[in-house]
Chain A
């Protein structure tokens, strides 16, 4: 039995696959100790006991929350002498351009725990000043006295010559100060140039390792010994819990990753492999482009701190169901980024919300239905929302209903801008893609967003509320290794890299074997990060054929020009090893064209003068079809089908929505 477990702020979702049969379970989260709900859920979903479990895949926010709340381990940063303030100076710019009183996020490590270590390499990795062991010992005395729990080491040019960093770790071990894994070396965590980003990443890594290790230890004890445990990383791959402890920072931005994997895999199974995922929740919306595969970004930010790890290229915007609407001093209607959050939440929830949110606007337009919202368990106070909206409408000078539509439109416009950023800005036309909507509010907005972008299809998966848990079940094991090259591309260099490639592949193979992946399920890709000599940003191209010619071509495609006379530099060679998992079969049956009458619940008038047909998602079977304007209810999401759109249910019970 395989289980995917996603722990959210409100619910913990589990999806179990047993010989191809899927079982879904949802329970309330236990934020104080997230593992509690997970273990309880596992017990509930496996009536025969946990012994039958072979693999649990899990998305963890433990590292993310530890960073956001600055509750990581007490960590010291050891820098090359002269550079101990690197985390404080950053890139020297202020985060807000126009602010009377610009502010920085609180530091991860207090300045008193940042140390200058006498040592220095030059840019070729040659030793200018040897590591001063006496000075190091004095610093280590101080670390012992301060009872530091973790150490991050970031020396200049350690990505070329890691010896000094390794000597520091050796000395810490020799003195029995900390175990090896509580010392994070920048040459291992991120062997790349740019000292600030590297220091920030290794500092984050060191500070979350102990937190992650404690968490994993607790989980491990509760799970049967033979049950594997895998954790999702920010790149949408999973890794065994034992290895993740030394790559803890790679989970820090994994929050939205499982949903993207789930949405992409479900759509692919249904026959759509070029998709844009739209995950709209209460406070934010995540959008990602998958042109036949998932795409990646080299760096992210967490609470203003750079983390240079490979992550799924996800654009997040502060517009969700709970985002607040207001009219600003210039008379424009604004939505977000301020949010009503879970409490007080939208006005219609009747939990003390006072300000109009996107969800309130949806309720006023009749798109949330009191009888079917969360299975009818929560009443909606639409009248209260109407009263608040009247005040807002007065400021816009528009009718109340027009204003409600406006709130939705402004939210949709910012989602549209996010979709453009991940597609058009990267050279892809969104009209060639299917929009896969999930999250509590995604299916409510998807058709209108698609319409704005000229997209011809929206797919709402069968279980939009547990797509993250499903994604965990479907995620591949991913291991990536990179080698800094930093040399001008030449025939000789390429020949040398061909030789080194074998080493990288061998390392990838053994890493996958350690993850219990059979050889037949292993896939490898070797890529080169390349740029013109003098540029700072690389384009990544496959290590195949004439790489220099391919680079010129890729540069032309990306920027509209190529400088063929200029030398080209190879910055890194990277190997991506993927272990594909046996995919659980999703329930399917042959679609039989039929009217959706058995799922029809009735009609209701809209305040705009239309009529909404209401359908029960549970009763929609493959092949059934119907027209908009309609609403489809299911426990954890409502789908809105505008007039001029039609829907049919595919063989996997997905809703496929298309303009007529």
Chain B
């Protein structure tokens, strides 16, 4: 079977089908609201060289960072055998931040590894200073259990010791166990589907098509970049603080477009900081690739080929490429969003009629943990906000933007499971930036704590507003407020405290920037 325009399309569907099947299994079998309701996970297929062949579209932040996991899994083990599963979460060895636990397993045909399947799921707690494992930390060790690439399953036998080690380090071990099992179930379904495919089409034709699909995505991505005028475009924005103190942490980018290649250089960005906003390079790559993917009008399959024409460089020891063991808890969520802002900001100079104004630029991370009926519980959520407007129309209101697209946990599921009560979940009127096209509005969410709990907020755009474009106004900044002892207390973007029963938290998320001068 040779590769042609027809078989290419057929195999594209087959590979994506494998990743999608894995995703459905993981969602249905999982336990934590974070995976089953919010869908904070990704599934992908890799070839024997560790190049991504297909990914189920779940969360952009995993886009370019999954390949690093496979790379480190392969670097750590000379050979993976039938029934082996590698698990890891170390951000400096293939991970992103510690709650994202990644598994990698081989698919073997004729005694050789022909593919790998990988899953990554955000686990609600992996230990560390505060419940939810997104603490206001100053070194990685404070953020939870560090798992270098190790074998969780060995030739089909569960390595119970590793499993216990992971669950014992979590504040909710039973949920961890269920979610890890669900991840393994997803691996089984992916392995089965690939073996089925190999049996049907044969190994060489299947591999030839995997290769052709990489070339296909490469051509499509090159076509996208070729449509951007050549030149170097720069943009600088900043984070507002690292959880230790409020300060401007600049992120600078120079995007150079030359023909069908793009180089994204973060030289000039701030040195790494003491607090938790450092982002490992895999995340920064994801964000840069995401921006290129946005520009594609066609439905480009996400695989290794998309990455090839886009090179990403960041100075070692900077906030966008830190040295071990710098704290990285929210580099994933907050710094990732800011990287998108600067890359799109730079591209807006090249493509002024295409690029939208800034979106809310934060994921508004809320982590809560405490005791409930004698057991520890942990709850994690992120909150949507306003999207930037574009020449094509107003920005969306109250939705996740850019590097995340997790769903909410229904209030009726949240209150049934956790000692929390939500009093308001509404659009934040008037928070979108003015403009010919208005920016989208943020969200107002108000929680009451029913028992004593630790609250940790990791939010951005509380001071620096999401910018408008072409005369459009900026969105309103976000706002975090506590209601305690009858008083309203405004708190910072990154904040941790102990909440007493009856106290409330109000979060208002940022609006999106407007586009064009208001008429």
Contacts and interface: CB of A to CB of B under 8 A. Distances in A.
Given A406-B6, A559-B182, A101 B31 contact: no
B411 A100 contact: no
B25 interface: yes
A305 to B, nearest CB: 15
Interface stretch (B87-95, B139-147, B413-421, B471-479): B413-421
B399 A194 contact: no
Given A82-B424, A89-B443, A92-B384, A331 B408 contact: no
Interface in B369-420: 383-384, 387, 390, 392-393, 396-401, 405-408, 410-413, 415-417
Contacts of A560: 184-185, 188-189
Interface in B6-52: 6, 8-10, 12-14, 17, 21, 24-25, 27-33, 36-37, 39
Given A89-B425, A92-B384, A559 B185 contact: yes
A88 B444 CA distance: 13
Contact of B4 (A85, A396, A413): A396
Interface stretch (B103-111, B245-253, B292-300): B292-300
Interface in A400-459: 405-406, 409-410, 413-414, 417, 420-421, 424-425
Interface in A136-158: 156-157
Given A425-B21, A559-B29, A329 B298 contact: yes
Nearest to A198: B412
B491 interface: no
Contact of B219 (A98, A329, A414, A561): A329
Contact of B5 (A99, A123, A397, A561): A397
A91 B407 contact: yes
Contacts of A332: 5, 8-9, 12, 216
Contact of A91 (B58, B177, B401, B408): B408
Contact of A97 (B8, B178, B405, B407): B405
B322 interface: no
B298 A328 contact: yes
Nearest to A84: B426
B30 A535 contact: yes
A33 interface: no
A94 B411 contact: no
B297 to A, nearest CB: 8
A330 B33 contact: no
A89 B390 contact: no
B298 A330 contact: yes
Interface string A192-207: 0111110000000000
A100 B425 contact: no
A562 to B, nearest CB: 10
A537 B443 contact: no
B28 A559 contact: yes
Contact of A536 (B4, B33, B217): B33
A91 B396 CA distance: 13
Contacts of A123: 412, 415-416
B31 A102 contact: no
B175 interface: yes
B50 to A, nearest CB: 22
Contacts of B36: 535-537
A189 to B, nearest CB: 16
Interface string B177-202: 11001101100110001001000000
B164 to A, nearest CB: 14
B296 A98 contact: yes
Contacts of A566: 174, 178
Nearest to B29: A559
B57 interface: yes
A164 B407 CA distance: 29
Nearest to B26: A559
Which DSSP category, helix, strand, loop or mixed, fits chain A's interface? loop
A559 B178 CA distance: 12
Q: Which residue, A104, A329, A333, has most C-beta atoms of chain B within 10 A? A: A329
B290 interface: yes
A329 B17 contact: no
A119 to B, nearest CB: 12
Nearest to A535: B31
Interface string B444-476: 001000000000000000000000000000000
Interface in A480-509: 486
Contacts of A93: 39, 384, 399-400, 405-407
Contacts of B31: 532, 534-535
A398 interface: yes
Nearest to B384: A92
A122 interface: yes
A108 B10 CA distance: 37
B220 interface: yes
B390 A534 contact: no
Contacts of A98: 57, 60, 290, 293-294, 296
A563 interface: yes
A50 B354 CA distance: 62
B427 interface: yes
Given A89-B398, A97-B405, A195 B410 contact: yes
Contact of A417 (B17, B28, B184): B17
B60 A97 contact: yes
A413 B407 contact: no
A83 B393 contact: no
A156 B412 contact: yes
B54 to A, nearest CB: 13
B223 interface: yes
Contact of A561 (B184, B220, B294, B405): B184
B423 interface: yes
Contacts of B189: 560
Among B8, B32, B393: residue with most chain A CB under 10 A: B8
Given A100-B354, A406-B4, A330 B300 contact: yes
Nearest to A89: B398
Interface in A53-104: 82-86, 88-94, 97-104
B426 A334 contact: no
A82 B36 CA distance: 25
A396 B4 CA distance: 8
A92 B412 contact: no
Contact of B9 (A329, A395, A413): A413
B396 A102 contact: yes
A170 interface: no
A100 B178 contact: no
Among B37, B39, B356, B426, the most chain A Cβ lie within 10 Å of the Cβ of B426
B8 A331 contact: yes
Interface string A521-551: 0000000000010111100000000000000
9 contacts: A85-B427, A92-B384, A122-B421, A329-B220, A332-B8, A406-B4, A409-B10, A417-B17, A535-B29
Given A93-B406, A331-B216, 13 more contacts: A82-B422, A83-B426, A84-B426, A86-B425, A92-B383, A92-B408, A100-B355, A103-B396, A193-B413, A329-B219, A396-B4, A536-B36, A558-B29
